């Protein structure tokens, strides 16, 4: 199973990169969660924010696979423990790729290598569009989208 999205954003790779890896950027576009990581391949990361377990709910966690500033960020992810009892057994790979195209940037997202019958696949299929739209809007306007939550 693979989810693949391509989006063109009126911004430089550095702007999109900052949105993907900075505390403020992730807070703005990932539902008020921040990324906690050293960004060293082989080391851990987590998206933490308000949720089932309070303000410090771990929504996703995993291992950084690649971190090439302004170009590639990839990781293996697991859902947080408050979502599924077998969270450690459930995983997928996420890869963000940035490529300068003229005066804009092509953002490609690939979410693949899903554990068989992963219960989050159908949610991810729809939620990635919301997150990517939020990234595009934030980079281009400095604002985020109001999804009515």
| CATH placement of domain 2-141 | 3.30.530.20
C-alpha span between 14 and 17 (Å, rounded): 5
Sign of CA dihedral 134, 103, 142, 26: positive
* Per-residue model confidence as pLDDT tens for the chain (149 residues): 899 999 999 999 999 999 999 999 999 998 889 999 999 999 999 999 988 888 898 999 999 999 999 999 999 999 988 887 888 899 999 999 999 999 999 999 999 999 998 988 888 988 999 999 999 999 999 999 988 76
**Beta-sheet strands, E only, within the chain:** 2-9, 34-37, 44-51, 54-68, 72-79, 92-101, 104-112
pTM above 0.75, yes or no: yes
- If we measure between CA atoms, which residue out of 70, 125, 131, 69 comes closest to residue 92? 125
The domain locations on the chain are 2-141
């Amino acid at each position: 199973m693979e989810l693949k999205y391509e989006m063109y954003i009126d911004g430089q790779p550095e702007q999109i990169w900052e949105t993907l890896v900075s505390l403020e950027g992730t807070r703005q576009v990932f539902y008020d969660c921040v990324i906690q990581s050293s960004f060293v391949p082989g080391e851990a990361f987590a998206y933490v924010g308000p949720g089932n377990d309070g303000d410090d709910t771990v929504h996703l966690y995993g291992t950084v696979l690649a971190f090439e500033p302004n170009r590639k960020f990839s990781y293996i992810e697991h859902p947080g423990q408050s979502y599924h009892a077998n969270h450690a057994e459930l995983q997928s790979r996420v890869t963000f790729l940035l490529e300068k195209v003229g005066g804009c940037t092509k953002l490609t997202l690939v979410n693949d290598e899903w554990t068989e019958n992963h219960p989050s696949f159908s949610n991810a299929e729809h939620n990635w569009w919301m997150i990517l739209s939020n990234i595009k809007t934030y980079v281009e306007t400095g604002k985020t989208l109001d999804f009515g939550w």
